Chains A and B, each alone.
Chain A
Amino acid sequence: ELKVEQNPLFLSMQEGKNYTIYCNYSTTSDRLYWYRQDPGKSLESLFVLLSNGAVKQEGRLMASLDTKARLSTLHITAAVHDLSATYFCAVIQGAQKLVFGQGTRLTINP
C-alpha cells in the first residue's frame, strides 16, 4: 500500500528565510501534486509534477520531483507571512486514487 510521508510536519520560520519541505513515497509513481490549505478552507492546487526531473515554480515556491528516489521537494525562497498555511503532497496510486501526506503546517513569523 502506498504511503506518503512529509517532513517536517511543523515548521516555524522567519520572513526572508529559505526552507524546504520533503515528501517521500513508498511505491513507484510518476505523478505528484502539491496543495495548499489555509485554516478552515479548502485545498488549493499548487503544482502538478508529471515526470522525473519535473520542476515547477510559482513566485517564492518551487517544487521538484525525483521519481527514482521517490522524493519531491517544495522549496520556499525568502518566505513572507502570506505563505503561512498547511502544505500537502499527494501521489497517484493505481489509475486514479490520490493518497495524501500528513501535511506540513508552515508558520512564517515577521
Chain B
Amino acid sequence: DAGVIQSPRHEVTEMGQEVTLRCKPISGHNSLFWYRQTMMRGLELLIYFNNNVPIDDSGMPEDRFSAKMPNASFSTLKIQPSEPRDSAVYFCASKAGRRNTGELFFGEGSRLTVL
C-alpha cells in the first residue's frame, strides 16, 4: 500500500499568490482530513470529508482557504491569496469506515513557506 500521498512536499511562495496542496488518500478509505501544524498552535483540524462530502469545515481559518474532494482518490486544499501567517506544515490523513478503529493514517505533509 502506497499510503497517503501529498504534493508538493515543499512550497515557497510570495504573499498574495495562490497555493494548491494535493492529497491522495489510501485506497478504500472513505474519510479524509486536512490538518495544519505550527509551533504556536500545534495540530489543528481544518476540514474533513466523508465519502467525498465535506462534513465539518469549522477549522478553516477564513475565506481564503477552500478544500475540495472531487472523487474518492483526490483532494485539494487551496489558499488564495496566501499570507505569511499561513506558513505551516499541512498534513492530509485518511481512515477507513466507521466500523474500523478510527485510526488516522497521515501523509508526509506539505511544508508551506509564504514570504
In the complex, the chain A residue whose C-beta lies closest to that of B89 is A40
Number of A-B residue pairs having CB atoms within 8 Å of each other in the complex: 49
Query: By the criterion of a CB under 8 Å from any partner CB, how many residues of chain B are at the interface?
Result: 22
B102 contacts A88, C-beta separation under 8 Å: no
B45 contacts A99, C-beta separation under 8 Å: yes
B91 contacts A43, C-beta separation under 8 Å: yes
A100 contacts B101, C-beta separation under 8 Å: no
B45 contacts A97, C-beta separation under 8 Å: yes
Question: Contacts A42-B109, A45-B105, A103-B42 known; A96 to B91 CB distance under 8 Å?
Answer: no
Which one of A31, A50, A96, A100 contacts B31 once the chains associate, using CB atoms below 8 Å? Answer: A96
B55 interface residue (CB < 8 Å to A): yes
Can you offer 18 A-B residue contacts whose CB atoms are under 8 A?
A31-B101, A42-B107, A42-B109, A44-B106, A45-B105, A48-B101, A88-B43, A95-B98, A96-B48, A96-B55, A96-B98, A96-B102, A98-B33, A98-B45, A98-B104, A99-B45, A101-B42, A102-B42
